[in-house]
Structure formats: structure tokens, C-alpha cells
Structure 1
Amino acid sequence: MKFIFANNYCYLRGGSERVFYDEISMLRGFGHEIALFSRHFNKNIHSEYSEYFASDIEYQNVSLIKKISAGAKLIYSYECRKKFDELLKLFNPNIIHAHNIYGRLTTSIIDAAKERQIPVVMTLHDLKLICPSYLMLLNGEICESCKGGKFYHCTVKRCHKGSLLQSLIYTIESYFNSLFGKYDWISYFVCPSNFLMKKHIEAGIPEKKLIYIANFIKTKIFEPNYSGGKYILFVGRLSREKGIMTLLNATKDLKIPVWIVGDGPMRAECEGFVKKNKIVNVVFKGYKSGNELEDLFRNCAFLVFPSQCYENAPMSILEAFAYGKPVIGSNIGGIPEMVIENQTGVLFNSGDHIHLKEKIEQLLNNPSLVIQMGKQARRKVEEEYNEEIHYQKLMSIYKKIL
């Protein structure tokens, strides 16, 4: 079969791009032909079809007029539609598989596919269809005000980065796509967690179009290490919704080192907090990738995932499991589907640093339990999150729509 995979970015920007590229690699491994479509960006990985990519959008550090012009392109891009149609004509795919397309590629590419009667499948990585600002989060707290198509709350509350203009653009985008039925042509929405599927059903997305297919990980390339590590690991963006302050407050009196891997808007604030409170066990490692990141996972005691927002199906949890490491996770979003209490890790109340500290001490005082849970975590990804299951489920929905 021939597929076009579409995503806003063509480089490993985050977990959603990891899923995007892993699916492409998987399908190619089974003999399918894949073309990529995106916008040009200076970090993009080379693609043989990049000449068909739409141009990049400049909306940072530009004049107000240019921001408004760029904003219109973020809502609906005629250039993307034209470029995508050219690729459709050249490649003649059986199916389009879209990942993150809103806000850059836009639903214009769905219109191009519909015009040529090519079916579309879309993987949902967040809550964008329900919440214009993706996260259902306001000032660090869960917010569901926009459910039921009440997107105006995004502008009224300046949900996106506190910016009136950006929030207005996202609000208009959501109303535009909803009122004109821009997602109607999509045959199936792939939900990587049952939690995400439930939220979209609650919001009125037709249940018959929603299908749960978990993310997968290539366990064969991960060598597990069940021996107890000498440090606690956090891997993620340093931002409030990721629960970084909850982690710092929970671990400031512990004797075991806490290694913080990642970067983000709160790094300076976090470093200032550590310095002010004379916390000596926390080390900021910065952004890591490749072999360095692999070693950090493999040699830790366990991973802490303290998110305070509706997480979908975090790939870093699957990575920890693949290395034989249990996870302490917050009981929010799709995390409890992965972190099973006293089996693959333990859960704590989101945002509660005292409860998190109790859970950390529980594992530190039970090294044999950590090893046991690490082995169960590895078994879970081998049995439930493997490439073969993912491929079979994807092919099942592909065949239904042809």
C-alpha cells in the first residue's frame, strides 16, 4: 500500500514526532511505500519529497501586520492545499495518515484529500479538537470550559501563553474547523489512550470514528537493566504543567540524587528555587538525546513522571519500561493506564508533593520491589506495546476504509 504521512514538523521535536517516525519506519519495514508532507523548517530531516513541502511561517519577532497575516495561514493554508494536491497527484496514495496538522499544515490538506476522494486517518496526540489551546489547562489548573464547542473561553481567558492575539487565532481556528465540518472527511481518529478516547466521546466526537490503538516501542533495541540505580530520573519539558515544581518540593530533603533531564521556560526559575533552598541533591542535566539519554534511562533507579495536565500516552514512560525501570506517575490523564499500581510503578495524587515524596520513599526503602516492578514493566511493553500489535491494528482500520 501507499501512504502519505503528514505532520507539522519533520524532525524529532517531541513524543508525537517520535510516534510519527516510528510508524513510518514500521510500515516501510513491512514493504509499504511512504511519502512525507510537512512545512519547511530549518531542523527538518531530509525527505525526498521536501520540494512539495509548504513554506515555513514566520510569526515570531515580526510586526503586528505580519503576525495577523501569519495567523490567517495558521487557520487555513491555501499554499498547503496546493502543495499537498501536487504531491497527491504525483504519489497517488491509497490513504493519508495525518498526525499533528492543525496550526501549521491546517485542515486544508484534508480538503485536498477529500477532493480526490482519498481516505484520511488521523492520530490524536492531544485535546486540540476539544480545546483550542491543546491542553485543557489554564494557569496550571485543569480547565474544561471549551467542551461542547464553547471555544470563545480560549480568547476570554487568554489561554494560549497569555496572549490575546494568539488565543484569538486559535479560537477562530477551532470555530472555523467546527462550523465548516473540516474534520468530517476523516474516517478514523486514532486515540493512543482510552482516556483520550473517552474525552473526545464526552465532547461529542462520533464514537464510531474513534479507535484506541496504543503507541508502541521497539523493545528489541532496548537492553533492560534491572539493577538498582543511584539516582532518580525526570525527563521532560521544564514547564509548570509537567509538574516540575511538585518534583522539586518532594525531593529537596532526600539524600539520593535527582537528575533533571530537559529544558524549558521554567529552567531558570527551577534553578533559582534549588539555589534559594540550598538543595544539593538536584542536578540539571539539560537536553539530552541519543546514547547519553539511553544511559541516563538505563542506569537510573526509576523515573518520576509528575505531570499536572491531561497526558495522553507519554513515550518516556514506555522507554523507562523498556529499560526495565518502574515509574512513579501522577494519577491523571492516560498515565494510570500505563503505570499500574505496585505492578509497573506507583501513582500519586497530581500536584501533591507530600504524596509524591511518600511514594519515592516507598520505592527507595524497597529495592527488591523496584526490581520486581521493573521486570513487570518490561514484560508489559513486550506484550502490550509492541510493533506487531500496533501494525495489525493499524492495518485493520486501513483495510476497513479502502
Structure 2
Amino acid sequence: MRVRILQVNKFLYRRGGAESYMLGLAERQRDRGDTVEFFGMDHPDNEPAQSLQGTFPPHVELEPAPRGAQRLTSAARMIWSLAGQRGMAAALRELRPDMVHCHNIYHQLSPSILLPVHRAGIPCVMTLHDYKLACPNYQLLDHGSICEACVGGGTWHATARRCKDGSLTASALLSLESGVHRLARAYDKVDLFISPSHFLADVMRRAGVADDRLRVVPNYADLQQFQPAPVGGTELLFVGRLSHEKGVDVLVDAVGMMPEGTRLSIAGDGPQRAALAQRADRVAPGRVTFHGRVDGGRVRELLASAAVSVVPSRWHENQPMTILESFAMSVPVVVTNLGGMPELVRDGAEGLVVPPDDATALAGALSRLLEDPEKRRLMGEQARARVVAEFGIDRHLARIDEVYAEATARVRARRAVGGRR
């Protein structure tokens, strides 16, 4: 039976992994006959032809943080967005969905959008793409270092540590936002949470986030779109957002330590692009190419010419789509030993695992693979076999359907007893 699904995310364009995941999932749901529409912020970069655009709350830019009176308005919206709540109510009336599937709704939408969904008795699931419900700063980072102070403690740690860009004001706002949402149990209106990795699920359990409502469903690779690439690629490839936590500066430094013929392609955009370009000119002149934000087709082209895909993050990545897409194209991957990445890349099998923030170790691992085409070929074959066996889109859709069915059953049971959480 085909259903009407409302996919919800604050950004509705390919900004990062969460958006790529949601847009790809929606495309496959539509391919099989489901009706899928989107709800998000009215952003100028949103993909065109959004049928519910008239219901979207207005665009607000939070990076960099607004100043003056606009800061107060933005702070209020982060905690509870009346525009988001009204917009969601209107979207529900227009679409009448059978399921609401939320992704990143923090800040620009806020959990206010969950209230009309709950009142309408519509099942709601939420895929967790980061650590926001356990860490006010999303990333389990404090000034670039791993930190779990707020996981088992109060959100005030974010203020005390000034973990948002070293700013007392910005950090206090994040503490307030998360503290209010925890106190109000704002996310209790989500029927089931989906965690792509066991690591993230463990963090959420330790933070007291919905142990009985957590379901682990790994991400996917679309095996129809990502076919094995011809063996013989020569370049290193990074795909992702160009921000501090991604560790691209370490990768650029590693390339600078490697032989002159080593080339790196970087696909993505973000706040550190200019600084990274300057760094590349200094430590690896002429050997790093910045492609900017690219679409899925261009990502596949870049993977087809890649010898190794690299995810050098210094934060606990959840389950990056780029790893699975690299696997699907038989490209081995080098990652750091953080978050959910070691669940995917087994050291010496589908790629190599190195410590974070260690350009020397990263350069050594990349050099070993570039110097050994046969090892790369065998790792690529193992990666492709693994993704076929465990991470295909059809299997993923079946798992998502199981979560949808369970969420629907929970709502029906709640209606039967006439109660509310």
C-alpha cells in the first residue's frame, strides 16, 4: 500500500549528508509510488517546485550569528518557532500525510513543529544525523576536542566551556535552547527515533534520550546509481562540508607530506573553504583542486577517478553517506577512528583507520594505498561486496517501512486508550 509521506528538514537542498540522505530516500519512495512532499525553511537554495512552500517559515540565517534585536528574535525562534508551528499545521491540512519523517529540525524549525503533528494523530519518526539531543553544540566537541560533558550532565556545561566558537553568548543560547527542550520534553512527541549507527544510539541512551524508542537503521547506497568504478584511479577524494570538524586541514597537510605527484580533489563548500585554499597553496601548491558544491552525478564522476576516498574527521561522525557511496563504487576509504566510522571501515578490509588530527599517520596510510594498486583493488572489492550485502537501498527501504509500521501501530494504540504521552 502506497502512502503519503512528509519529509521534514530545515534545509531542502544538498547542503550536507543529512540533506543528501533525505532527498535520496524521498526519490526512491516516489519511484515506488509513494506521494512524498517536503517541509522546511523558506531558503533561497531550496530545490525548486516545492508544493508546500507557501507553508514554510521564513528564512533566517544563523551562521554567522545575527546581532542586535535580530539576535533576540532568532533566539526565540530557536527555542520555539511559532512560524514553524503554524506552517506545519497548514502543511498537514494541505497534504494530509500518513507519516511525518523528520531529520534536522533544530534551530530554524525547532520542535514546535512536532506539536501539530502529535495533535493531528499522525505517526512521526525522526532520523538522528548528529548528537544535538545529547550535546547542545551538535558535535561532542569542545574547542575542537572530543567532549561528552553534556551527555550525562546538564546543558550548562556548554556555557561554562564556551564550546560554541568560544562565545559566552552563543554558548549560553545553545545551553538555554537544549535545557528548555529537555525540561519540556519537547521531543517526546516523536514516536520512534532512527539512529544510523550503534555509536550514536549508545550516546543517546547514555543521555537518556528515548531508549525504548530508538531503532538502529544503517544508511544506504543506491547500487543502481553507484556502480563499481574502473580500477586505476589516481587521485585522493574528499566529499563533504568544509568546516573545522571535518578535518580537511589535516588532509591538506598530509598531501603536502606526500610525493609531488599526489593529487587531491575536494568536493563541497563551507565556511573554511577560503582558509583551506590558502593552506593548500602554501603546503601543496598546485596539487589540490576545489570543485565547490556538486550534485550527485558529479560526485559519481569524481569517485570514478578516485584511488582512495578520505574522511579525516576530528569529530564523532555518525555514518557518512560518502563512505557507503565509495564502497558501492569499489573505492577503498581511509577514516579516523571516531564515531560510527569504524563500524563501516574495518581496518585492512574496506580501507584503513587512522587517529584523528595526525597528518603524519594519515599521509602514511594514504601513501601505502597509493603505492599498492593490488591492495586497493582487493579492498575495493570487499567494500562493494559489503555494501551489496548490508547497505542496499531496497533493504534500507524495507527497514524504514518497518519503523513506519511500528510508529503507526504506536499511534493507533495510543488512540485506542485515548491517552497522550
Aligned alpha-carbon RMSD (Å): 1.9
How far, CA to CA, are the matches of 2:270 and 2:61 in structure 1? Answer: 21
| Counterpart for residue 263 of structure 2 | 258
| Counterpart for residue 23 of structure 1 | 25
Structure 2 residue 78 is the aligned partner of structure 1 residue 74:
yes
| Counterpart for residue 113 of structure 2 | 109
How far, CA to CA, are the matches of 2:22 and 2:344 in structure 1? Answer: 20
TM-score (norm: length of structure 1): 0.94
In structure 2, give the amino acid aligned to 1:396. E
In structure 1, give the amino acid aligned to 2:33. G
Change (3 A) 1:110 1:292: closer
| Counterpart for residue 236 of structure 1 | 240
| Counterpart for residue 391 of structure 1 | 397
TM-score (norm: length of structure 2): 0.90
Residue 203 of structure 2, aligned match among 199, 206, 209: 199
Quote the offset at 1:378 in angstroms: 1.5
Q: How does 1:131-280 map to 2 (within 5 A)?
A: 131-255=135-259, 256-261=261-266, 262-277=268-283, 279-280=284-285
The farther-off stretch of 343-352 and 88-97 is 88-97
In structure 2, give the amino acid aligned to 1:81. Q
Q: How does 1:48-127 map to 2 (within 5 A)?
A: 48-58=51-61, 63-127=67-131
How far, CA to CA, are the matches of 1:299 and 1:9 in structure 2? Answer: 30
Residue 292 of structure 2, aligned match among 277, 287, 307: 287
In structure 1, give the amino acid aligned to 2:344. M
User: SS at the partner of 2:257?
Assistant: coil
How far, CA to CA, are the matches of 1:387 and 1:369 in structure 2? Answer: 28
How far, CA to CA, are the matches of 1:83 and 1:70 in structure 2? Answer: 17
Change (3 A) 1:369 1:147: same
Q: Retained in 2: the 8 A contact 1:124–1:192?
A: yes
| Counterpart for residue 335 of structure 1 | 341
Structure 2 residue 313 is the aligned partner of structure 1 residue 313:
no
The farther-off stretch of 152-161 and 42-51 is 152-161
Quote the offset at 1:281 in angstroms: 6.2
User: SS at the partner of 1:96?
Assistant: strand
How far, CA to CA, are the matches of 2:61 and 2:17 in structure 1? Answer: 24
How far, CA to CA, are the matches of 1:188 and 1:358 in structure 2? Answer: 43
Q: Retained in 2: the 8 A contact 1:226–1:374?
A: no
How far, CA to CA, are the matches of 2:242 and 2:95 in structure 1? Answer: 41
User: SS at the partner of 1:166?
Assistant: helix
Change (3 A) 1:91 1:373: same
| Counterpart for residue 373 of structure 1 | 379
In structure 2, give the amino acid aligned to 1:349. P
Structure 2 residue 367 is the aligned partner of structure 1 residue 361:
yes
How far, CA to CA, are the matches of 2:270 and 2:44 in structure 1? Answer: 20
Q: Which runs of 5+ in 2 are unaligned?
A: 409-421
Change (3 A) 1:42 1:268: closer
User: SS at the partner of 1:112?
Assistant: helix
Q: Retained in 2: the 8 A contact 1:192–1:215?
A: yes
- Write out per-residue CA displacement over residues 276-326 of structure 1, whole angstroms, 9 at most, x where no aligned residue: 44x346313241413443222111111121111010011111221122100
- Write out per-residue CA displacement over residues 193-217 of structure 1, whole angstroms, 9 at most, x where no aligned residue: 1111111111122322111111112
In structure 2, give the amino acid aligned to 1:20. M
In structure 1, give the amino acid aligned to 2:305. N
Change (3 A) 1:286 1:164: farther
User: SS at the partner of 1:219?
Assistant: coil
Quote the offset at 1:139 in angstroms: 1.6
How far, CA to CA, are the matches of 1:266 and 1:401 in structure 2? Answer: 40
How far, CA to CA, are the matches of 1:93 and 1:275 in structure 2? Answer: 51
- Write out per-residue CA displacement over residues 156-208 of structure 1, whole angstroms, 9 at most, x where no aligned residue: 22222333332222211111111011111211110011111111111122322
Q: Retained in 1: the 8 A contact 2:233–2:305?
A: yes
The farther-off stretch of 352-361 and 53-62 is 53-62
Q: Retained in 2: the 8 A contact 1:328–1:347?
A: yes
Quote the offset at 1:226 in angstroms: 3.8
User: SS at the partner of 1:399?
Assistant: helix
In structure 2, give the amino acid aligned to 1:14. G
How far, CA to CA, are the matches of 1:149 and 1:387 in structure 2? Answer: 37
User: SS at the partner of 1:232?
Assistant: strand
Q: Retained in 2: the 8 A contact 1:75–1:170?
A: no
In structure 2, give the amino acid aligned to 1:283. V
Change (3 A) 1:348 1:281: farther
| Counterpart for residue 4 of structure 1 | 6
- Write out per-residue CA displacement over residues 350-371 of structure 1, whole angstroms, 9 at most, x where no aligned residue: 2222222221222123210101
Number of residue pairs matched by the alignment: 401
Change (3 A) 1:266 1:42: closer
Change (3 A) 1:237 1:44: closer
